[in-house]
Amino acid sequence: MDIYNIFLANVGAPIHMQAQCCAAYDRHLSRFVNVPMTILQLGIREGGALQMWKRWLGPNARIVGIDHDEGCTRHADEQIIVYTGNASDPAFLRAIVADLGLIDVVVDDGTHHMRDVLSSFDFLYERISPNGVYIIQATHTAYIPDYGGGLNESGTIIQRFKDLVDEMHANHVHDNALRPTDFTRSISSMTVYESILVFEKAIAPNRNVLRVGGA
């Protein structure tokens, strides 16, 4: 069953999610279905999304959730691991990464406050697997002052995304005005949906221009 139908058919713990997320999940995460992998979700709420991942990704997936609410530990089972703490605290995340090892997918559905979104991204992006995916949901909060946002406001995930588009293309910037970084070397694609950002990594993506065919 595809993830959208799993979402619609849910009768267990509630899932709070924009339906359009399913299209992004299917496009960017379907390669992880029924293969050994680890997905880390920031923000658990009532636990329904963890069960959705379990049903969609299959028995080979290790599903991990983080939430500040200690009551969320009730959602743990033989396939689901739950940590309680601050998902934007680098020390806390460092301990989790050390415990888990390689993480393939991160889905940030946490506080949606800019300071937390950026702190989590700054720590976790570089630590996901070389072919990993980082998804940030509810990015419309980057335009809401109560979440630290605002149109063209510095310090939002949307403004960071715009800067990272430049960083992605640093190899093509003349006069060393922008030097390539680890992000430049690791990123394969950056996709924008309404209220969703997706970052996909790749091992040594082929950036060469090739000429094939002809006489």
Extended strands (E) in the chain: 37-42, 61-67, 80-84, 103-108, 128-137, 187-193, 196-201
Instruction: List beta partners, residue 200.
Output: 133, 189
pLDDT recorded at residue 204? 62
pLDDT at 12 (0 to 100) = 87
Q: Per residue of the chain (215 residues), what is the pLDDT tens digit? A: 799 999 999 888 888 888 889 999 999 999 999 999 999 999 998 999 999 999 999 999 999 999 999 999 999 999 999 999 999 999 999 999 999 999 999 999 999 999 999 999 999 999 999 999 999 999 999 999 999 999 999 999 999 999 999 999 999 998 888 999 999 999 999 999 999 999 999 976 566 666 677 76
Contact 201, 187 (CB under 8 A): yes
Considering only CA atoms, which of 106, 102, 100 is closest in space to residue 29? 106
Q: How far apart are CA 123 and CA 127, in angstroms?
A: 7
Contacts of residues 109-112 at CB distance under 8 Å and 24 or more positions apart, as own/partner, are: 109/17, 109/41, 109/42, 109/43, 109/45, 109/49, 109/137, 109/138, 110/42, 110/43, 110/66, 110/67, 111/43, 111/87, 112/137, 112/138, 112/141, 112/147
pLDDT for the residue 214: 74
- Write out the H or E segment, with its range, that includes residue 182: helix 182-186
What pLDDT is attached to residue 177? 87
Return the axis-axis angle of helices 90-100 and 114-124, rounded to nearest 10°: 40
pLDDT score for 60: 97
User: pLDDT value at position 212?
Assistant: 72
The pLDDT of residue 45 is 86
Look at residue 14 in the predicted model and tell me its pLDDT. Answer: 87
pLDDT of residue 208: 66
Q: What is the pLDDT of residue 213?
A: 79
